[in-house]
């Protein structure tokens, strides 16, 4: 698969603080790439460098085969960015905002009206096109932010915590649109989020800690390596489980046993078939992976 | 095309902030009323005292001279201070993060800079030309001696002076990142610029050392240019009324219509060249600051 972002030995410091330290990774075309870490881990610094907003100390950043610092003009046409906080003009209407931003990419006149029509339909903001941004709810503003980032049909969409604080319905709309763009145009999505269920859907995940990669891989690989599996046995008495000599958690309808992998479950089933009448095997969650890797939980916008 | 759209967006942002627009528009009017109320008599007495007793001066000439002094003071100060007050969008964009939305796009830094400059100059020109219209209207009620050419030249001066104020404020505001900082700078400029440019008090009344320093500032020549074009008609009328040439030269010297650069009188065309040069210099510097900040990236 084509490499759309390649970062090699990237360093960035603020005084004595190493925000990014020897970071190297590759994002492939069409991937949903999740970039996780607690606040201050270096996510936003890395994004700012990819978007050409911040100068690196050393290393290299290549986007679609072009050096970001040397060929930013060409790179910028291929990137769409949804910032952590909306950066559109609050006093202007949705249409005025998108018109002024579209013009930055040379999208004006009929081309703009056509693209506006498409985006307002899929992101469902036709009804408030002529309303000023400061009269919109957070969810409505976020939809306009996504539209702004997609105006010029970028090949890479960078989402910096796009759904923080949004209601489930708006989150669903946003993800449906992004999924559609990925399927239809092979859009590559570079995501930072505090919602682990969003990261679970990623093709590849990097967990950043103190500017360095603490763990990386596919969700399956990370779950297998750091979270283990669970087997839940329903309708089974606790006394029988005690005899197995494994650690378990009592739940309302049965017990939940933590196992290292599915082969351990297979062994248990073969040894104690009488216990496994009604059971399910589940993978560990990304929350468990994150907790295991960083020692910190990450939920709803705050590290704990 | 892109530049036009950036300018349009910036102008829309300015006019959406109705409070900012109205306060920018009102401040020169309020100044005019204050000047006419509190300073007119001071100027009048000062002018009368300077004339020999045997001279009889018509009311129109007397009042016209006083009103001219009020108007050139007002315009010399307003063109710069209004620019500082209305040229806030660049700082607002930094505070809101909107500037990041521009810099992730392929638009050139020079276009962003020009967009801010043109929109700010246009909005400031609306205010300064409104103030000029009010000032000329007031002058016509007091004593009108300006020719059509004088009026055109004054319009040109106000245009250039506004561009100068916009360019200067743009360069200074480039380094600011909050509205609080801009407000502090605006206060300092409003308080000090009138004295430094010779609008409130003629530079000829300052000490020699300070005069020499002020001779190196373009604002000195910009103000003098405006004074010359507003007062030329009055000096012509004084000649007709039989004022001796020495007396007219004395008045010209005392109100800074004549500026001497280390003993050599500076002609008005040189003043105009200095003003135009300053506009070009500061505008170029502002665009250059944006382009150089590209690198294009922030270091922090």
* For chain A, domain boundaries: 3-221, 229-283
Of the residues A57, A100, A149, the best mutation for testing chain B's interface (the one with the most B CB atoms within 10 Å of its CB) is A100
State pLDDT tens for residues B205-220: 888 899 999 999 999 9
Of B13, B101, B298, the CB nearest to A54: B298
* Residue A114, Cβ density class (10 Å: 0-12 exposed, 13-18 middle, ≥19 buried): exposed
What average pLDDT does the segment A23-40 reach? 92
| pLDDT given for residue B297 in this prediction | 47
Contact A69/B297, CB-based, under 8 Å?
Answer: yes
> Among residues of chain B, what percentage have pLDDT more than 90?
56
Judge whether residue A97 has pLDDT over 90.
yes
State pLDDT tens for residues A34-58: 999 888 889 989 999 999 889 899 9
Q: How far is B104 from chain A (nearest CA, A)?
A: 6
Q: Which residue of B has its CA nearest to A151?
A: B105
Of the residues A103, A130, A141, A159, the best mutation for testing chain B's interface (the one with the most B CB atoms within 10 Å of its CB) is A103
How far is Cα B92 from Cα B85, in angstroms, rounded to an integer? 12
Categorize the per-residue pLDDT at B29 as very low, low, confident or very high, splitting at 50, 70 and 90: confident
Expressed as residue numbers, the domain containing B78 is 2-297
Judge whether residue B196 has pLDDT over 60.
yes
| pLDDT given for residue B157 in this prediction | 96
Pairing of strands B260-261, B264-265: antiparallel
| pLDDT given for residue B232 in this prediction | 94
Q: Which residue, A264, A275, A270, is CA-closest to A237? A: A275
Would you tell me how many other CB atoms lie within 10 Å of the CB of residue B176? 18
Q: How far is A54 from chain B (nearest CA, A)?
A: 5
Q: Which residues of chain A lie closer than 8 angstroms to B98, CB-CB?
A: 87-89
What average pLDDT does the segment B56-73 reach? 89
Q: Is A53 on the interface with B (CB under 8 A)?
A: yes
CATH for A3-221 (3.40.50.261, 3.40.50.300, 3.20.20.70, 3.40.50.150): 3.40.50.300
Categorize the per-residue pLDDT at A298 as very low, low, confident or very high, splitting at 50, 70 and 90: low
Of A53, A72, A100, the CB nearest to B5: A100
Number of domains chain B contains: 1
For residues B64 and B142, is the Cβ–Cβ distance under 8 A?
yes
Residue B80 belongs to what H/E stretch? helix B59-86
Of A14, A53, A103, the CB nearest to B2: A103
**What is the average pLDDT score of chain B?**
89
Categorize the per-residue pLDDT at B299 as very low, low, confident or very high, splitting at 50, 70 and 90: very low
State pLDDT tens for residues B219-234: 999 999 999 999 999 9
Q: How far is A76 from chain B (nearest CA, A)?
A: 5
Of B9, B97, B296, the CB nearest to A83: B97
Of A49, A76, A91, the CB nearest to B13: A91
Instruction: Give the 3-state DSSP-derived string for chain A, with helices as H, strands as E and coil as C.
Output: CCEEEEEEEEEEEECCEEEEEEEEEEEECCCEEEEECCCCCCHHHHHHHHCCCECCCEEEEEECCEECCCCHHHHHCCEEEECCCCCCCCCCEHHHHHHHHHHHCCCCHHHHHHHHHHHHHHCCCHHHCCCEHHHCCHHHHHHHHHHHHHCCCCCEEEEECCCCCCCHHHHHHHHHHHHHHHHHHCCEEEEECCCHHHHHCCCEEEEEECCEEEEEECHHHHHHHHHCEEEEEECCCHHHHHCCCCCEEEECCEEEEEECCHHHHHHHHHHCCCCCCCEEEEECCHHHHHHHHHCCCEECCEEC
Q: How far is A266 from chain B (nearest CA, A)?
A: 53
What average pLDDT does the segment B91-104 reach? 91
| pLDDT given for residue B274 in this prediction | 96
Q: Is A83 on the interface with B (CB under 8 A)?
A: yes
| pLDDT given for residue B294 in this prediction | 60
Of the residues B105, B294, B295, B296, the best mutation for testing chain A's interface (the one with the most A CB atoms within 10 Å of its CB) is B105
Categorize the per-residue pLDDT at B300 as very low, low, confident or very high, splitting at 50, 70 and 90: very low
Judge whether residue B164 has pLDDT over 90.
yes
Q: Is B148 on the interface with A (CB under 8 A)?
A: no
Distances, alpha carbon A304 to alpha carbons A39, A94, A165, B109, B259, in Å = 10, 36, 17, 41, 70
> Among residues of chain A, what percentage have pLDDT more than 70?
97
CATH 3.10.420 fits domain A229-283: no
Q: Is B265 on the interface with A (CB under 8 A)?
A: no
Q: Which residues of chain A lie closer than 8 angstroms to B106, CB-CB?
A: 73-74, 76-77, 104-105
Regarding an ipTM greater than 0.85, the answer is no
For residues B123 and B21, is the Cβ–Cβ distance under 8 A?
yes
Q: How far is A8 from chain B (nearest CA, A)?
A: 19
The CA-CA-CA angle for residues B276, B196, B223, to 5°, reads: 40
Judge whether residue B298 has pLDDT over 80.
no
Contact A73/B106, CB-based, under 8 Å?
Answer: yes
Lowest pLDDT segment from A93-107, A118-132, A160-174: A160-174
Contact B13/A54, CB-based, under 8 Å?
Answer: no
Q: Which residue of A has its CA nearest to B105?
A: A76
């Amino acid at each position: 698969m084509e490499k759309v972002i390649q970062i090699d030995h990237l360093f960035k410091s603020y005084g004595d603080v190493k925000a990014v330290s020897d970071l190297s990774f590759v994002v492939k075309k069409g991937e949903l790439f999740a970039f996780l870490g607690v606040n201050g881990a270096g996510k936003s610094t890395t994004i700012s460098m990819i978007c050409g907003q911040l100068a690196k100390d050393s290393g290299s950043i290549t986007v679609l085969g072009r050096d970001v610092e040397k060929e930013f003009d060409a790179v910028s046409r291929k990137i769409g960015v949804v910032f952590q906080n909306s950066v559109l003009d609050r006093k202007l209407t949705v249409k005025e905002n998108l018109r002024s931003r579209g013009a930055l990419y040379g999208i004006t006149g009929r081309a703009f009206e056509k693209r506006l029509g498409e985006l307002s339909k899929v992101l469902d903001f036709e009804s408030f096109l002529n309303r000023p941004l400061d009269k919109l709810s957070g969810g409505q503003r976020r939809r306009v932010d996504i539209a702004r980032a997609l105006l010029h049909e970028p090949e890479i969409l960078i989402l910096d915590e796009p759904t923080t604080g949004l209601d489930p319905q708006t989150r669903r709309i946003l993800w449906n649109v992004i999924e559609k763009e990925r399927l239809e145009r092979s859009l590559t999505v570079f995501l930072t989020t505090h919602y682990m269920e969003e990261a679970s859907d990623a093709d590849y995940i990097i967990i950043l800690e103190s500017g360095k990669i603490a763990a990386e891989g596919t969700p399956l690989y990370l779950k297998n390596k750091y979270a283990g599996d669970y087997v839940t046995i329903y309708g089974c008495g606790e006394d029988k489980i005690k005899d197995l000599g494994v650690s378990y958690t009592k739940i309302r309808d049965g017990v939940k046993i933590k196992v290292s992998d599915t082969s351990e479950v297979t062994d248990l089933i073969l040894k104690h078939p009488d216990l496994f009448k009604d059971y399910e095997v589940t993978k560990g969650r990304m929350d468990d992976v994150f907790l295991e890797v960083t020692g910190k939980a990450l939920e709803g916008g705050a590290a704990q | 095309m892109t530049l036009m759209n950036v300018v349009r967006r910036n102008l829309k942002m300015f006019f959406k902030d109705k409070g900012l627009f109205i306060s920018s528009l009102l401040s020169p009017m309020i100044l005019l009323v204050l000047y006419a109320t509190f300073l007119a008599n001071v100027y009048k007495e000062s002018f009368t005292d300077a004339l020999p007793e045997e001279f009889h001066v018509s009311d129109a000439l007397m009042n016209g001279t006083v009103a001219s002094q009020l108007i050139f003071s007002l315009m010399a100060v307003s063109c710069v201070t209004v620019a500082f007050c209305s040229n806030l969008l660049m700082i607002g964009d930094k505070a809101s993060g909107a500037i990041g939305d521009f810099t992730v796009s392929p638009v050139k830094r020079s276009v962003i800079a020009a967009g801010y400059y043109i929109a700010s100059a246009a909005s400031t020109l609306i205010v300064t030309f409104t103030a000029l219209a009010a000032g000329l209207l007031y002058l016509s009620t007091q004593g009108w001696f300006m020719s059509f050419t004088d009026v055109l030249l004054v319009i040109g001066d106000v245009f250039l002076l506004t561009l100068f104020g916009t360019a200067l404020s743009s360069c200074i505001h480039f380094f600011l990142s909050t509205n609080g900082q801009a407000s502090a700078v605006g206060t300092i400029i409003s308080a000090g610029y009138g004295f430094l440019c010779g609008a409130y008090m003629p530079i000829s009344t300052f000490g020699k050392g300070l005069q020499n320093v002020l001779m190196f500032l373009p604002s000195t020549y910009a103000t003098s240019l405006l004074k010359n074009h507003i007062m030329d008609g009055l000096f012509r009328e004084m000649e007709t009324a039989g004022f001796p040439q020495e007396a007219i030269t004395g008045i010209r010297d005392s109100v800074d219509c004549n500026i001497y650069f280390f003993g050599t009188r500076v002609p008005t065309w040189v003043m105009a060249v200095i003003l135009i040069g300053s506009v070009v210099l500061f505008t170029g510097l502002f665009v250059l600051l944006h382009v150089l900040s590209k690198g294009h990236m922030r270091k922090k």
